[in-house]
Every structure is written in C-alpha cells, then in structure tokens.
Structure 1
C-alpha cells in the first residue's frame, strides 16, 4: 500500500492512498491582516475528490467557513460537535461527530478505514495542569482487499501527555503526522504547545516508521524553527511505502 502526503499550508494536508482514495484534514484559508502565513488556494486540484475529511478542532487556524466550502457534498466528515456550526450547509454530506476513544468504520472504494478519536491536551503556565481541549487527534487504520494495513496517527494540536501514549502504545504506527508550534516552551507563562522536546518524546515512545512534521504559522517563524528541525514545505509531496 502506497501513501502520498501533500502539505497544503496552515494545518491542512491531503493523504492519497494508492491513487484511489484521498483523505484530507483541516481546510482553512482565513488569515489575520498583516499575517505572512501562506497556503495553497482553495481552487487547487488537490481539494478535488477528497472522500474523507478529518477536522481536528474548530479554530481559525484549523477549520473555517472558507474551508468548509471546499468540502464536496459526497465527502464524509469527521469532526467534534463544536464544528457543527460551520457544517450547517452540508446537508447531503455524511457528517460524524466523534468523541475521544470512539471508533467509526467506513468502506471507501474497496478500503476499510477505521478512525478512532484520540485525546489532545493543552496547558497553561508552570503551575497549570494540562486541560481538556475541544479538539481531536485521530488514529486511522487503512486496510486494503489483501488485508494489508497502514496505521496513521494524526496528533492534532496537542502537547505530549501520558494519557495519549496509553491509547496508542500497543499499535505499530506507520506514519505520524504531527503539528509543532515552538522550538522550546516557556513553562512559566503562556500556553504550552508542541515543542521539540515533546515531539521527541512522542517519537521515542511510539516509534513510528515515518514522521511528517508540519508547522502552521507564518513564514518568518518557519525559517527560525527550520534551523532545528526539518519541516515539510507547503506544496511538497512525500511518498510513504
């Protein structure tokens, strides 16, 4: 089974399975005035014929009104219930609101695709404990008609947390798609987000065969973080065998 990953900017990407089934995540196109954030425009062919969309959270950087417009009416959509307000016009779509630890299974063009909601955590400063965020990570298991399978872990916007590891530790992960936000967090102030230490902890404990790291902020910040880690570029494709 061959997977082809393409990063479209912000936290949006497309995963193509054997050139037969396309899975997408987090279409979002609005940016703040003066922002240097870049992305692939919504009229691009990459957004065509996506059969399954995974929405990790309902925030402007992950999913917005313009992003909802690129989702075709025959697409299946998995999201949290907080995203329902942006999906009201998708009356003919198959919309599924998935909570943590719940599973849903689809048959799409001869592939069985199992999606499980995985916890995400966000936290405040040094004296704060991680708090439950209104967001999902996802574990995808894709099985073809020869019973070959691939497992893909989509972290979403999260910090490293032991409860996530407990959910995933017994699964062999073929591909981990992870969002990184900082080089190093300041634990005494501000919101904690994924940094290099946390990313390395995920890799060390889950031991995925392949890791794709995406950075959703502006180009100036991207250049700074690229001094320390390889990031997939906007529009870049990567094959995973």
Structure 2
C-alpha cells in the first residue's frame, strides 16, 4: 500500500472548541492505520468521516473540491478549503500523488471544469461530456475510464448516484483494480452494499472517536438487514411513533 497512516498534529491545534477541532474524532484520534488496499469510513452525518477524507486529499495534493493534482485549486466551490488539511500528517511507503478525489456533492462543478478544459474528446470519461450523461452514468464513466493502477483513490459517498445494481458493478470494478495491485482506496460511504467488500477495513466515526469494526457491526448492515426481514413491523413502529 502507498498510504500507511494519518496522524492528527495535536501540537498545533489552536482550540478544540472550534470547528473542525470540535469533531469528536479529532480529540480522540492519535494515528489511524490505513495500510490496507481498501478502507471504509462510516458514521452518521457530521461525525467527521468526510472532513478527514478531505484533509487527506488536501495533503496528497488533490483539489479539496474534488479532482486530482492536475487541477488542484483550478476550480472553486463553496467550502473548497480543507478545514483540517494542515493539521493532518500522512505516512507513506512509497508516496504517490497519482489518483483522484471524488466528492459527490461537488461533482457537477468538476464536470463543468472538465467541459471548460478538455480538448482531447473526453478520453477519461467515456468519450463525451459528463454533463451529457446521467448522474449515475457520469460517475461510472469516471470509474471505468479514469481509474487505473499505481494510484490512490479517495471517494466520498460514491454510491450517491449509483443504483444497487450499479453499486454491485462498482464492487466488481474495485475487485478488478485491486487484483492488479498497486492501487489503494479510502471510501466514506453509507452503502451496506459497498461495505460488504471482503477483507476491507471499516472505521466507525462516532461521538467518542473512531474504532475499527466488522461489517456485521455496522449500523448500515444491521438496519438494512432488519428492515428487509421485518419491513411491515418496522414501518408500523415508525408510523406509530410519528402519530404519537
């Protein structure tokens, strides 16, 4: 693997009461081991998984708004600065800057940037503008055509535009890339399908910090599994609580 670990530089944190230092994992985390081919970040919204992923992207040299080192800070979006970037230290063996940072929430702006700068006929995106493809198709065009070996990929909620069938196809794509070696993925996700990838490391971000858990321990698996097995009972309970 390329990226071995991420460490919070506590000695330069000015105030734990201010964002993003107020996020629980910042205070609790010393070093996070990332020395596996695929690592997942899970947790509720606001737990900090995307904040850490963005900080890692910033330290690699990727555009914090999404993209690669080639378009670092070339296009701007709201909150494109990595709030935690300078407070994170990365350990490499060896260091690599080839790869991509996908942010689902800013992908539209990235696609517009590609339209403005691509002069080669979109070879990395299936041969046509990302805006001329559906949201899901544009994501998958990126995965299929731009993702290659000898690289590190950071993905923030890649399932946002993918149907369940497409998520399964994405797992196959991940598997094919990982079989070739020299590729690493760190993925923040809410998808129980993606989290099912075998032998992946899963970190759960919560109110007390970060801990490594098994797939079956994730809330994503437990809630989805229970809902599918007890749909009518669960819906009745939800609607009853709402009426009360």
The TM-score with structure 1 as length reference comes to 0.32
Query: Based on CA coordinates, which of the two structures has the bigger radius of gyration?
Result: 2
* Structure (1 or 2) with the greater strand fraction: 1
* Structure (1 or 2) with the greater helix fraction: 2
Q: Tell which has more relative contact order, 1 or 2 (C-alpha 8 A, sep 6+).
A: 2
